[in-house]
Amino acid sequence: MAKNNEETGGLLTFGGHLEVLRLMLFRILSVTGVAAAVVFCMKDTVWRLLLAPSEWKFVTYRLIERTAHAAGFSEFHFNEYHVDLIATNLSSQFMTHVTTSVYLGLLCASPYILYEMFRFISPALYENERRYSVYTLFVVYALFILGILMSYYVLFPISFRFLGTYSVAEKVHSTITLDSYISTFTTLILLMGVVFQLPVIAYALGKMGLITSRMLSRYRKHAFMVIMVVAAAITPPDLMTLVLVTIPLYLLYEVSIMVVRS
């Protein structure tokens, strides 16, 4: 039988840690389940947001057009297009609704999940390590959200526009399945969320002595070429898309230099 905190000098036994872990997982699953249920019930609003990047009048295109007009290119505009989304199985729409609600529930509950994880490990940390951990978690989460926004407003809509309207012949028309749409949407969201962790990874490598700010500065041109190759690999073969993705990724590289230098 496990002793209480007073009998063990304020330290939990192995069984006590397992009980704390069990309660933490229960709270996380409960909060995530509630968030997923709320998202599931808000079907009209949620799916309007999820499907918005597939529309030809998406806010990103309107912003680019206004910017081009302000720069003197008054004739520039995006052509109207329509791509139909279909469901090929009887249960595919319902199951996609359920799984997407779970994904969004996890995203909505992610601040609470991070909080619970920090509460679990914080007793084993020193005071200065706690402050450092809080700062690191905040930066990682903020960069992840920036990556999500970058994918939602830039990478995914432009990729969908190109791939959804691309045709090898006039007789061939694209009808995209809902599963394919959500799968590509989720993949790009996660990909950009991870890519935007570059400053954190650079900081960690710098602390380990594997890289220095001088080294990163010296290889700026090489890094720019690598970033362009990566951007070309994850975007359609379109110059505008390449530029829109390359610029923020290169800015992350410059931020990484400053982070390693600090």
Confidence of residue 12 (pLDDT cuts 50, 70, 90): low
Is the CB of residue 124 less than 8 Å from the CB of residue 173?
A: no
The pLDDT of residue 11 = 62
Is the CB of residue 262 less than 8 Å from the CB of residue 172?
A: no
Instruction: Give the tens place of pLDDT for each residue, 81-136.
Output: 888 899 888 899 999 999 999 999 999 999 999 999 888 888 877 888 788 888 88
Instruction: Give the tens place of pLDDT for each residue, 203-212.
Output: 888 888 888 8
CA–CA distance, 207 with 201 (Å, rounded to integer): 10
CA–CA distance, 183 with 11 (Å, rounded to integer): 46
DSSP state of 75: T
Cβ neighbours of residue 105 closer than 8 Å, sequence gap 6 or more: 32, 33, 34, 35, 36, 37, 38, 39
Instruction: Give the tens place of pLDDT for each residue, 19-64.
Output: 888 898 999 999 999 999 999 999 999 999 999 999 988 999 898 8
What value does the mean pLDDT take over residues 195-216? 86
The H-or-E segment that residue 39 falls in is: helix 14-41
> Residue 219: beta bridge partners?
none
Instruction: Give the tens place of pLDDT for each residue, 237-248.
Output: 667 677 878 888
Name which of 165, 124, 166, 158 is nearest 231 in CA terms: 158
